[in-house]
Structure 1
């Protein structure tokens, strides 16, 4: 079958499994690949629903060799079956062969299910790669998740096999992330990756105890907030002057915090200039458990000043300590500011695994089991009351307007629930964006901070914009306020924050620091804009680079974000605008609903495509938006069948929304309202009402020329 590509006038033979109806770019086209590398990678992933290994092996040898030799960021996993050699010495060769085949038939599929590429089998060992030849949005998390499942899967397989002695076999896993060189190597021309990252991963596997997963420091940075880890003693690796710091993964976190994704352009960031503020948080933590009531630290600062990053680094610090702690997190949302107890609703539902669209019976069972797991058995009466009353608070019964008497019981029982949880582990709450928290959530927070009997030891690390304290100054007396001021960036700080920029001259770094205006988010967006424009990788004279840079860097954050939105593909830009109508947090279904009900942003108003085409358009745009790090997938979606996303920053959402004409806003808001109306949860009906009001307001602003559809 021969088809021309969209961006190339040549025609090419398609590899097996290729569906032209679903894909617009052909893999064999080298010129097409060079100009559309990211689209090429994504479209190859759409060839079939089979594993990545099958996708690659199904292509012709000619197609495989089209993959370029390149430097990439990858996560490498080594696994070894501990106890295999002494067992093999006692078995017949054919039995050993059956043993090896059985193990890898069971374990290989786990790697493939987590989008890993099996590089090679090494007898009783295996090497797998994430990030090459294709990069995913969350490669390191997928690799560590696969490692944990591999350990468990081998135990289960050995318990069921009839091969004598197999029950003694255990898996050791080592994982490391970093730069690699991907290429076809050897007489067989096999695709693999090489480099220091691979060597360290192999060493980490060697020091891992049986049935454990050990990761390197680079991997830790990419997965922090998703797993419980414990620091191990540093180890030396052949060829490396400095010792390597390993970490043992002890399990997944029940309620993952914010995940920091590795940039598609290998952009690594470090927090700089906030050492004093981080030290203050550490000091508060060290003394908090001497108190009989919770202690609250409140980080205050403008948009993009680094509040969330500081909380993330503090959370990472606590996890690395290895203390017996339990971190729960939640955040205020502008679109949920009128939903009573939304802050606590999200926190407790995530903690006990209750989704907003679970069937009533399932949700109640999950909630009851969660309460049972933390409540002492001799307090049956209070446990039963907490199950009922707090179940209403988190929306299981739909009662969103409690009476004053019910409020007091909610306050008391929530405190008692937290106290029960705090008996087993040190309890830490991370509450972000309090400026958008609902009234009832803040009342409950006040109650917790002012009630001393019975004792409740807990740290609440929170963040808010300055208007939070301006409108409610009494929080100065309830919390230990840490105010973040704009940073005085220097070239040295810029290089420390972005190690990739260490080769740039100080004159360029000074200009970047000046344009950032002391705001870390400004600086990050400036750096990414320059990388996207290719100004940080070209070997051109400093003065020419400086003049071009002055023309490229936007004057303000709005210009920076608008430029980033304008530089997105048509699909990603359209999704960003549609998602901004929903709010900072948005769902795929809500974006799809708008795309089906009104013209897509950036397209002809008369454009009319089948729903299947529109759906693929939106999914592709969403993938590119995540790859560009302008939005992130969230854990614990409110709807089990709907992936939940969040804009990287509320200001980014505002800029995207400002680009939409009023006549289109009205249609989009109406579509979102209809989508929310179809949900059964009462909490979302108030959100639907707000979108209907926004639709009417937008229609009115449009000089009365638009009539809303019924």
Structure 2
């Protein structure tokens, strides 16, 4: 026996070392239990001794023991055992392969659940699983995680059995916490050993099917978050004394007891499948990194909030970090703009409501710095989040700018961790919030974001079609609970309730859990039941108790049973909303705050109010109604005069106490509107009406500043209803028209502007009349009514220009009108007039520092210069404008200028650069979420033409399919799309689908028949496309007429892309008609029109000259021109036209008997046509090659 301290060998049987005097003892190297010489296994933990027990000498260790101790330690761990009940009988009745498959699925599911809660599977034995927490690293909530996993596993097996057609299949589990020997060098079987493991197994064996039992140590460590029931004493195998065990019933709080409710919480009953769906969606979102929306709809009291709470507790217990956000929509009027979203940002930043702006801004900046690492991203996102929270003075009428930044923030969160957004009470949501959620799902589809919305069925009135047909959406309607589930819920709350009364309550409840809960609360209020050791028992006579017919009546009866001062305080609180502070309630009730707080404590004890305890919530420390339905009933019990007084008090309090009044403008407006409508005949009604109208205007401006045009429109329209003098009403109509235009509500825009115009005209306000006339002209321009727009804007500009004085507001309208007129003149062919007015717009925009209007005017001028063939000047101007737009953060203008620059580069034959620019513009759209104006669609449709020319036809097909599937329907009424989509006509014709080409032309004809006017360039494109179809049909004379009409109609304007297409079709038609004189005339026109020419057109001219020389019999010139055309087209990378030139050259050579040469060129052409899928051209090539082959064979 070797001494561990000094290493001296001692004779067997020695008790002390002969050299150093240290005690010599044998011990298990795993658990440290005493052992005897010759033992092969530890008598305590069963560990195997590979040689003999380790020798310990005092505090010394042998080298072998030290090596062992580096991997074996005593650790505080939690061990779970679970096995299946009913699996043996199931196995006997099924095929062995089916049994193996079932068992494999069970093991896989068990491993997933255990690992989600941070546990490690130690081993599977038969149908049992053993898992351990605390290895290799311990967490302070290991025991809680183990119990949560056990409860989850038992529930999962129950569902698994139902799915597998084995409803009797259940699991039972046991969990025990304590010390065990842990082998740190082992993963899996053999990790832990000791008595703890054996005892945990025995606890599992004692558990009833479908239950989880734990030992006392585990209960003590977890009871803050887990509800337990005493399972009694059990005699466990191998234990001398009975052990008290506890049944884990459910999770009642967040991790380590956080967020534990202070109110009566009934058992969670009848919603297991729905909760399981939420869990599956959560993990699928995490694994697939794809955004999802789960819309949960149900009547009041059916359990929407409860299922969300159970889900939150589940998420809180997972090992995976999940960024949880919760926001509630306020039930004020049309809803407070983005309130729920702002609550989520506050929750993430740790900002409490009404926190000092400087402190809130500091917290927001720290949060942005934490999740956004790029300085450019932080500069863009932070002010827009601050605007959402009312911490930023900037405003915008463009929701896309704000939506993009808010979306980007949540996307960045989702790159760090799975992100969950829970929106409560969506039936009260503002229109902008619905828009943002839909936008988030559309543009963040590849982010791990799970959105959950809770709403009553009347959400369909607020947002028709909500929850239907959206990407990544699942709609879940909560039906009333089944009678069995309701009975289980009621029995779980009041186990001693007489059967007759229980049946009466269940009958009246009609499956609505809240009815049963409120009944129990009423019984508590009246002292008829009492809490005894965590359960409720009957204390009085229930025989005479009348159960109200409806839930509303039940709540009213409960409120009536309260003492008068408590009931009055509940009614006062109801006016403030679902959540409130004691200070606000004291202001509304006109009672001392100390008295209010004393009453609140009593009402919390009666489960009417709860204190927000979630440390992440911006409402933490506030009081809230346990049920919003109680608030509705309480408020409805107020008389009209009482309601008026309390709403006025609430408005006064909010106005005086809120640091940023604009943030709560909608709330103040709603209180004042409610006060007026409560007593419109009162002496002070006129004053309240005026205050309410002014507050509605402020609410509208706040919504507009946040980019919620639809919401702002509703507030302005409501303000108009509250009346005023003619001038102020006309101004409100103007404002309503402005915000309606930002969300493309064209009819509403026109209606409000026309109403304002009529009022200004009646009042004789010439300047205001001109201003609105200009705005109506812009509406006409947007809808493609160019002549009407031109007339209206010209009239307005004439009046505005004659107005004396230095008026900044007038100049702002004049800039907008001048640019609109320039665009109208451009589209109707007057480029000189367009240039004059765009210069005027530029001068005024520079003078007034109107950057957005300056950028629009620069863009317009670049079009005009290009139309005047000042190409290089135009490109330089566009590049500079694009840089200015990027530098100043004007996203919309960045995209628009980028798309137009792409078109200009294509006109200059820089096709690759054009594609790159349009891709950059589209990427900017995707980042900015440019949905309303569809600039992303413009950007990718702009690529159709260069892709077609470069032979990337499959890319064209993908873009066209994308447009047809996703964007065609919503783009029908917008101008210029028709011009871009006409490119597909040539793709269809070249691939032999004449009917599809005709269909595209037919769709455009129908659009024109509906009253839409085409711009000059769109009309040229339409003529060229129609000529292409006519050529394919063989009607070459009509094709020539259509093409000539197209390119000769533009006057001094030049639209090279469209005109080149028209010229090509005209030349092809003239050749088909054998009209060489017309061909010569067309070539002369092309040289003059496109002076100094373009490389692609020069190549076509060489090709056409080769054909002319072929017809004239000039062999040398024919060959020279064709070879020049082929070489030029190869250098330009135009594969289709290269193949066409090769085929035409081959045909000319064939007619001269130069068969071998002809065949060489035809083979090259055919290979290209096959690669492109140009079936008509393949047929034409093969018809040429057949005679050539026959002639070669004859030789």
Give the aligned partner of residue 506 of structure 2: 513
Tell me by how many angstroms 1:652 deviates. 1.0
Give the aligned partner of residue 389 of structure 2: 394
Give the stretch that moved more between structures: 655-664 or 683-692: 683-692
1:468 corresponds, among 459, 478, 482, to 459
Determine whether 1:560 maps to 2:554. yes
Give the aligned partner of residue 374 of structure 1: 371
Give the aligned partner of residue 240 of structure 1: 244
626 and 282 in structure 1: CA distance in 2 versus 1, 3 angstrom threshold = same
1:482 corresponds, among 457, 476, 479, to 476
Give the aligned partner of residue 270 of structure 2: 273
Tell me by how many angstroms 1:546 deviates. 6.1
204 and 311 in structure 1: CA distance in 2 versus 1, 3 angstrom threshold = same
- Secondary structure (helix, strand or coil) at the match of 1:333 reads coil
> 1:562-581, aligned counterparts within 5 Å?
562-581=556-575
- Secondary structure (helix, strand or coil) at the match of 2:281 reads helix
402 and 495 in structure 1: CA distance in 2 versus 1, 3 angstrom threshold = same
Give yes or no for contact 1:352–1:370 (8 Å, CA) kept in 2: yes
Give the aligned partner of residue 412 of structure 1: 404
Give the stretch that moved more between structures: 281-290 or 517-526: 281-290
Q: Distance in 2 between matches of 1:562 and 1:327?
A: 35
Give yes or no for contact 1:172–1:205 (8 Å, CA) kept in 2: no
Determine whether 1:385 maps to 2:366. no
498 and 249 in structure 1: CA distance in 2 versus 1, 3 angstrom threshold = closer
CA deviations 1:278-335 (Å, max 9, x no partner) are: 1222222232235454101111100000000011112222223332222111121113
Give yes or no for contact 2:415–2:447 (8 Å, CA) kept in 1: no
Q: Distance in 2 between matches of 1:276 and 1:249?
A: 21
Give yes or no for contact 1:578–1:591 (8 Å, CA) kept in 2: yes
Give yes or no for contact 2:481–2:511 (8 Å, CA) kept in 1: yes
> 1:679-698, aligned counterparts within 5 Å?
679-681=658-660, 682-698=662-678
Determine whether 1:349 maps to 2:327. no
434 and 213 in structure 1: CA distance in 2 versus 1, 3 angstrom threshold = farther
Give the aligned partner of residue 662 of structure 1: 640
Determine whether 1:220 maps to 2:225. yes
Paired residues, number:
463
TM-score of the superposed pair, with normalisation by structure 1: 0.58
1 or 2, which has the higher helix percentage?
2
641 and 172 in structure 1: CA distance in 2 versus 1, 3 angstrom threshold = closer
Give the aligned partner of residue 149 of structure 1: none
578 and 480 in structure 1: CA distance in 2 versus 1, 3 angstrom threshold = same
Determine whether 1:618 maps to 2:622. no
CA deviations 1:463-496 (Å, max 9, x no partner) are: 1111113542143122201101112224x74344
Give the aligned partner of residue 303 of structure 1: 300
> 1:140-219, aligned counterparts within 5 Å?
218-219=223-224
Give yes or no for contact 1:217–1:246 (8 Å, CA) kept in 2: no
- Secondary structure (helix, strand or coil) at the match of 2:382 reads helix
CA deviations 1:13-34 (Å, max 9, x no partner) are: xxxxxxxxxxxxxxxxxxxxxx
Determine whether 1:459 maps to 2:450. yes
215 and 442 in structure 1: CA distance in 2 versus 1, 3 angstrom threshold = farther
- Secondary structure (helix, strand or coil) at the match of 1:477 reads coil
Tell me by how many angstroms 1:657 deviates. 1.0
Tell me by how many angstroms 1:392 deviates. 1.4
243 and 357 in structure 1: CA distance in 2 versus 1, 3 angstrom threshold = closer
- Secondary structure (helix, strand or coil) at the match of 2:323 reads strand
Give yes or no for contact 1:174–1:215 (8 Å, CA) kept in 2: no
**Which protein has the larger Cα radius of gyration, Structure 1 or Structure 2?**
2
Tell me by how many angstroms 1:375 deviates. 1.7
409 and 636 in structure 1: CA distance in 2 versus 1, 3 angstrom threshold = farther
Give yes or no for contact 2:576–2:650 (8 Å, CA) kept in 1: yes
Q: Distance in 2 between matches of 1:638 and 1:592?
A: 26
- Secondary structure (helix, strand or coil) at the match of 2:638 reads coil
Give the aligned partner of residue 583 of structure 2: 589
CA deviations 1:155-198 (Å, max 9, x no partner) are: xxxxxxxxxxxxxxx999999xxxxxxxxxxxxxxxxxxxxxxx
CA deviations 1:90-145 (Å, max 9, x no partner) are: xxxxxxxxxxxxxxxxxxxxxxxxxxxxxxxxxxxxxxxxxxxxxxxxxxxxxxxx
275 and 643 in structure 1: CA distance in 2 versus 1, 3 angstrom threshold = closer
Give yes or no for contact 1:572–1:620 (8 Å, CA) kept in 2: no
CA deviations 1:235-275 (Å, max 9, x no partner) are: x997324576999999789xx8x753243xxxx51111112
Give yes or no for contact 1:328–1:429 (8 Å, CA) kept in 2: yes
Determine whether 1:449 maps to 2:444. no
424 and 660 in structure 1: CA distance in 2 versus 1, 3 angstrom threshold = same
- Secondary structure (helix, strand or coil) at the match of 1:554 reads coil
Determine whether 1:529 maps to 2:518. no
Give yes or no for contact 2:486–2:511 (8 Å, CA) kept in 1: no
Tell me by how many angstroms 1:214 deviates. 8.8
Q: Distance in 2 between matches of 1:387 and 1:440?
A: 20
Give the aligned partner of residue 260 of structure 1: 261
Give the aligned partner of residue 977 of structure 2: none
Give yes or no for contact 2:411–2:444 (8 Å, CA) kept in 1: no
Give the aligned partner of residue 548 of structure 1: 544
Give yes or no for contact 2:252–2:260 (8 Å, CA) kept in 1: no
Q: Distance in 2 between matches of 1:243 and 1:557?
A: 34
693 and 246 in structure 1: CA distance in 2 versus 1, 3 angstrom threshold = closer
474 and 575 in structure 1: CA distance in 2 versus 1, 3 angstrom threshold = closer
Tell me by how many angstroms 1:702 deviates. 6.7
Give the aligned partner of residue 4 of structure 1: none
Tell me by how many angstroms 1:589 deviates. 2.0
- Secondary structure (helix, strand or coil) at the match of 2:580 reads strand
516 and 285 in structure 1: CA distance in 2 versus 1, 3 angstrom threshold = same
Q: Distance in 1 between matches of 2:218 and 2:362?
A: 33
TM-score of the superposed pair, with normalisation by structure 2: 0.36
638 and 577 in structure 1: CA distance in 2 versus 1, 3 angstrom threshold = farther
- Secondary structure (helix, strand or coil) at the match of 1:240 reads strand
Q: Distance in 2 between matches of 1:570 and 1:654?
A: 18
645 and 244 in structure 1: CA distance in 2 versus 1, 3 angstrom threshold = closer
Q: Distance in 1 between matches of 2:140 and 2:416?
A: 30
Q: Distance in 1 between matches of 2:141 and 2:628?
A: 43
CA deviations 1:192-246 (Å, max 9, x no partner) are: xxxxxxxxxxx97999x9xx999655421589xxxxxxxxxxxx99732457699
Q: Distance in 2 between matches of 1:206 and 1:314?
A: 32
Q: Distance in 2 between matches of 1:417 and 1:660?
A: 43
- Secondary structure (helix, strand or coil) at the match of 1:396 reads coil
Q: Distance in 2 between matches of 1:520 and 1:249?
A: 20
CA deviations 1:536-565 (Å, max 9, x no partner) are: 469xxx9x956423x2x2221122111221
Give the stretch that moved more between structures: 298-307 or 570-579: 570-579
Give yes or no for contact 1:173–1:214 (8 Å, CA) kept in 2: no
Q: Distance in 2 between matches of 1:340 and 1:680?
A: 18
Larger RCO, structure (CA 8 Å, separation 6 or more): 1
Tell me by how many angstroms 1:452 deviates. 4.7
Give yes or no for contact 1:333–1:585 (8 Å, CA) kept in 2: no
Give the aligned partner of residue 15 of structure 1: none
Give the aligned partner of residue 92 of structure 1: none
Q: Distance in 2 between matches of 1:299 and 1:557?
A: 21
After superposition, the CA RMSD in angstroms is 4.1
Give the stretch that moved more between structures: 287-296 or 631-640: 631-640
Give yes or no for contact 2:253–2:313 (8 Å, CA) kept in 1: no
Q: Distance in 2 between matches of 1:395 and 1:704?
A: 32
640 and 287 in structure 1: CA distance in 2 versus 1, 3 angstrom threshold = closer
Give the aligned partner of residue 362 of structure 2: 365
Give yes or no for contact 2:253–2:260 (8 Å, CA) kept in 1: no
Structure 1, unmatched stretches of 5+, are 1-169, 176-202, 224-235, 597-610
248 and 315 in structure 1: CA distance in 2 versus 1, 3 angstrom threshold = closer
